[in-house]
Amino acid sequence: MKARPVPCSPSLLVVRTRHALDLQRARIESALAHPDGTSVHDIRVALRRTAALSRVSKGIPANGAGNALAKEAREIRKLLTERRTREVLVARLKERFAEDGRRHALALGAARKLEAGAGTDPGPADSQFERSVARLRRCFETRDRDLGALLSSGKWAIAADRALRRRASRRIGRLVRRLAEMGVPDRRTLHPFRIAAKRLRYALELLEESVPGATPLLRELRHFQELSGDAHDRIELVHAIRHAASGVLAFRELLGPLELDARRAVRTSTGLASTLLRRLEAVSATLPT
């Protein structure tokens, strides 16, 4: 399905939220209809955005509104997590050590070992996944009807918009303070810091035009998400090869270089996190407590 065009005057945050949810639904349907090597990744990103938008807008126009969509999006994403992790790790192993014949052969062997377990992961061809997608579609339709009815209700739409702005601003404030409390991450805390930063990014994108300093902060959040995602994948690859080496001792030869890759990626990510936290200090003063 195609996303509906943005309304001519999307001054209401409710309008933008409805359109953003419609866009995520379109992305999910497109990935399902035209599966390729990035489909699972695209679906998971759209599901994470859907859950974030639903959390920001939940309770509007009525208590409990948006909860079902957030829950279903979260559950489907979790179904796809292991499959996506395997896909990423296999791709990295196939690319690594291209100029080192012996290690490249070992990496390809490790990739085959990881691929052998992919058949047990739920995915787009799995019946459980199909049932979950059917529930997700119903949740999208319900949420769209709720927001559409609200937008046609005149003064109630204005009141709901104000409530949504307050809710979104407070959530952004909580996420900013949460990151500040976490401080500069290390290897152990990088992943939870990354998830919190991602949630902040998705919420802040709704209010970018009304939060001073939001635009440069969003640029840094997106850059950090890319670098920290790379670091997380490299850490996961070290764990996977260490586990595989318990059955094939030769795979231990790969651990040294892969561990070095992970350390470099973590160091780069944590350096950017320091810059990000300084930016957050300036933005936090403009947000409600």
Say how far apart CA 22 and CA 115 lie, in whole Å.
Answer: 34
> What was the pLDDT predicted at 127?
81
Per-residue model confidence as pLDDT tens digits over 6-57: 343 445 899 999 999 999 999 999 999 988 878 999 999 999 999 999 999 9
Mean pLDDT of the chain: 89
Q: How many CB atoms lie within 10 A of CB 71?
A: 15
Of residues 282 and 195, the one with the higher pLDDT is 195
Q: What is the residue extent of each domain of the chain?
A: 1-84+121-153, 168-289
Per-residue model confidence as pLDDT tens digits over 198-245: 999 999 998 888 888 889 899 999 999 999 999 999 999 999 999 999
Tell me: pLDDT of 124 over 80: no
| Mean pLDDT confidence for 165-192 | 93
* pTM of the full structure: 0.87
> What was the pLDDT predicted at 207?
87
Tell me: pLDDT of 67 over 90: yes
